[in-house]
């Protein structure tokens, strides 16, 4: 039966194929020629295929043997690699680390840390996957990666979120836009602006909707009341994401309600904007809630595409500072920069980024070493954003 074959058969087969004779293969493996002959004979008997053509002086591969040789080499390579990883992991000196992270983390946070890490641990190998926040959480929950670094997203079972840093939300706009010369702007100033944004699968979009942009109805008689968006529970949103029809219908109803409220609020936007100044908290929060519920004229899943839309003048967008600067290439407020980042205030909001792990599964020794280095080294990096660590 095929189940009787094992890694020894693969090693002997590859050795005979590479050495060109049974005796040479026996010498290379430190075995006797009878053992080599018996192993190959068993291999051929079990598979029912002739692997070698034999003469008195030479052994050559059959057509079947030639086709199987690269497969056998790959299997041996994978096996040796797995054994090496196991040994390295047991001693905490190497092994493979799989990490999923948001684009801004992969491009600005991790490279500097990895440079120090690989110098100290040359036997370790890293696999980095760029994902949005929802995908990062799912990858950790499903065991696809060892840990992730991204924003808060879903309340998944067995998932722990440990804050690493946060950066503030702001507007990314063209350098010739009316906002560009300001030190900060209020959320309510965005009401009448053409807007482009990230899709609902984005952690940033979810944070804009959920991170405390709760509206309170204005009591000022000259300011139209801007109603809060229709509440949708996390369980309903999760069910809709999984394709459950009833939940999707609820989400559609919420979207229609948001659009209706936005249209109603737009008719009085001038009055709302005049009232939405520092100190007018109710109007400010209401305007912020309205912005969080706006439907962008262009929606994408990629921040670089989003920055391109802004550069072309399609509209402005709202992003966390680190993501905005990386996507647009804006590192400083230089005069020749095509795009500008302007912080948002009234209210000031931040995107929390943290380490996502499984509570029921401990990290490998080398993964723990790398994560500890991230926590230690990342705050020392020179980053083009107002980041708050911890």
Q: What is the DSSP string of 83-98?
A: HHHHHHHHHTS-EEEE
pLDDT in the model for residue 139: 92
Question: Are residues 292 and 209 in contact, defined by beta-carbon separation less than 8 angstroms?
Answer: yes
Complete domains list, the chain, with CATH: 2-90 (1.10.10.10), 95-161+353-389 (3.40.190.10), 165-229+255-351 (3.40.190.10)
Sequential DSSP letters for 40-73? HHHHHHHHT---EEE-SS-EEE-HHHHHHHHHHH
pLDDT in the model for residue 264: 42
How many other C-beta atoms are found inside a 10 Å radius of the C-beta of residue 249? Answer: 12
pLDDT in the model for residue 203: 60
Q: What angle do CA 25, 30, 36 make, to 5 degrees?
A: 45
Pick from 384, 390, 381: nearest CA to 354: 390
Q: Retrieve residue 178's tokens.
A: 């009316």
How many other C-beta atoms are found inside a 10 Å radius of the C-beta of residue 234? Answer: 10
pLDDT in the model for residue 270: 43
pLDDT in the model for residue 338: 86
Question: Are residues 194 and 348 in contact, defined by beta-carbon separation less than 8 angstroms?
Answer: no
Question: What is the β-pairing status of strands 159-174 and 387-389?
Answer: antiparallel
Question: Are residues 103 and 121 in contact, defined by beta-carbon separation less than 8 angstroms?
Answer: no
Distance CA 38, CA 27 (A): 15
Distance CA 303, CA 292 (A): 18
pLDDT in the model for residue 108: 85
Q: Retrieve residue 2's tokens.
A: 């095929």
Distance CA 304, CA 106 (A): 14
Distance CA 227, CA 208 (A): 17
Q: Retrieve residue 52's tokens.
A: 């070698």
Listed as ranges, residues in the chain with pLDDT below 50 are 211-236, 239, 246-247, 250, 257, 260-262, 264-280, 283-284, 287-288, 332-336
pLDDT in the model for residue 188: 81
pTM score of the predicted model = 0.56
- In angstroms, the first-to-last Cα distance of the chain is 58
């Amino acid at each position: 039966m095929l189940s009787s074959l094992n890694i020894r058969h693969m090693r002997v087969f590859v050795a005979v194929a590479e050495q060109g004779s049974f005796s040479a293969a026996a010498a290379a493996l430190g075995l006797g020629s009878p053992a080599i002959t018996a192993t190959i004979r068993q291999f051929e008997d079990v598979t029912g295929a002739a692997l070698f053509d034999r003469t008195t002086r030479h052994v050559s591969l059959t057509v079947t043997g030639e086709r199987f040789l690269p497969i056998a080499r790959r299997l041996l390579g994978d096996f040796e690699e797995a054994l090496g990883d196991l040994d390295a992991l047991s001693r905490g000196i190497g092994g493979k680390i799989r990490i999923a992270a948001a684009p801004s983390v992969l491009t600005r946070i991790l490279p500097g840390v990895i440079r120090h890490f690989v110098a100290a641990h040359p036997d370790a190998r890293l696999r980095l996957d760029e994902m949005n926040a929802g995908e990062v959480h799912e990858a950790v929950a499903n065991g696809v990666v060892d840990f992730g670094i991204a924003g808060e997203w879903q309340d998944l079972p067995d998932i722990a979120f440990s804050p690493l840093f946060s950066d503030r939300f702001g507007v990314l706009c063209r350098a010739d836009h009316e906002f560009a010369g300001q030190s900060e702007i209020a959320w309510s100033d965005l009401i009448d602006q053409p807007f482009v944004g990230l899709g609902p699968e984005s952690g940033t979009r979810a944070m804009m909707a959920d991170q405390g942009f709760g509206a309170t109805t204005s009591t000022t008689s000259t300011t139209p009341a801007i109603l809060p968006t229709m509440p949708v529970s996390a369980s309903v949103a999760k069910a809709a994401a999984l394709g459950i029809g009833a939940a999707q219908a609820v989400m559609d109803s919420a979207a229609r309600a948001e659009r209706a409220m936005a249209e109603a609020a737009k008719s009085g936007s001038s009055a709302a904007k005049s009232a939405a100044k520092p100190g007018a908290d109710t109007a400010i929060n209401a305007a912020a809630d309205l912005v969080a519920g706006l439907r962008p004229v262009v929606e994408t899943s990629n921040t670089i595409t989003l920055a391109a839309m802004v550069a072309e003048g399609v509209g402005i967008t709202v992003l966390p500072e680190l993501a905005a600067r990386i996507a647009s290439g804006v590192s400083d407020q230089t005069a020749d920069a095509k795009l500008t980042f302007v912080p948002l205030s009234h209210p000031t909001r931040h995107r929390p980024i943290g380490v996502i792990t499984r509570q029921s599964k401990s990290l490998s020794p080398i993964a723990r070493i790398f994560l500890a280095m991230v926590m230690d080294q990342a705050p020392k990096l020179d980053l083009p954003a107002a980041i708050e660590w911890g």
